[in-house]
Structure 1
Amino acid sequence: MPSAIFVVRATVPDPVKRDAFDRWYRDVHLPDAIKSFGVRKAWRVWSLVDPAVHQAMYQFDDVAAMERAVGGDEMKRLIVDFNRDWPDVTRTRESFTLAQIVEE
């Protein structure tokens, strides 16, 4: 079965807060999400087009594992923690299934 990718896109509108958000995500939230989700791999990026945009991607073994993780109590807790620490940062979430990998 193909891998599934869960993507969280956050917009940090205040440039002064971006470094603190980056440290928090790196040191607190990403390790917590990795452990809570039980993911195979996670990575995150900042947009080069819009410096306010941050995306985190979590790779699951399959769609069923992703759906269990993002539909469970741990996800609810992660959302509460995020909202508590970053109330002015908006987010969207989207789920993908891997269609193709090309490597040379």
Structure 2
Amino acid sequence: MPSAFFVVRATVTDPGKRAAFDQWYETEHVPAAVKAFGVSKAWRFWSLDDPSLHQAMYQFDDEVALDTMLKGDALRQLVADFNRDWPDVKRTRETLVLAQEFAK
């Protein structure tokens, strides 16, 4: 079964809050999410086209593992923590399944 991915896009509109958001995400949120989700890989990105756009991606072994996480308490707790610490940051979430992997 192919890997599945959980993607969270956050828009940090206040440039003065981006450094603190980045620090919080790096030291608190990603480590907590990786542990809670039981994933071995996660990535974070800042957009080069829109400096307010942050994206986090978590890789799951398959769709079953992703679906289990989506229905569990871990996501609800992480969302609550995010809302508490960053109430003004809007987010969207997306789920993806790997269609192809190419490496040279």
Same fold (TM over 0.5): yes
Instruction: Report what 2:81 is aligned to.
Output: 81
Deviation sequence 1:18-63 (CA, Å, 0-9, x none): 0000000000000000000001210100000000000000000000
Measure how far apart 1:71 and its partner are: 1.8
Query: How does 1:23-62 map onto structure 2 within 5 Å?
Result: 23-62=23-62
Cα distance in 2 for residues equivalent to 1:28 and 1:86 = 13
Counterpart AA for 2:21: F
1:10 aligns with 2:7: no
TM-score, scaled to structure 1? 0.98
Cα distance in 2 for residues equivalent to 1:32 and 1:70 = 15
What is the aligned-residue identity percentage? 62
Cα distance in 2 for residues equivalent to 1:57 and 1:71 = 18
Gaps of 5+ in 2: none
- Name the stretch that deviates more: 81-90 or 68-77: 68-77
CA RMSD after TM alignment: 0.5
Cα distance in 2 for residues equivalent to 1:67 and 1:93 = 13
The structure 1 segments of at least 4 consecutive aligned residues displaced by more than 2 Å after TM superposition are none
Cα distance in 1 for residues equivalent to 2:33 and 2:96 = 18
Q: What number of residue pairs does the alignment pair up?
A: 104
Measure how far apart 1:70 and its partner are: 1.9
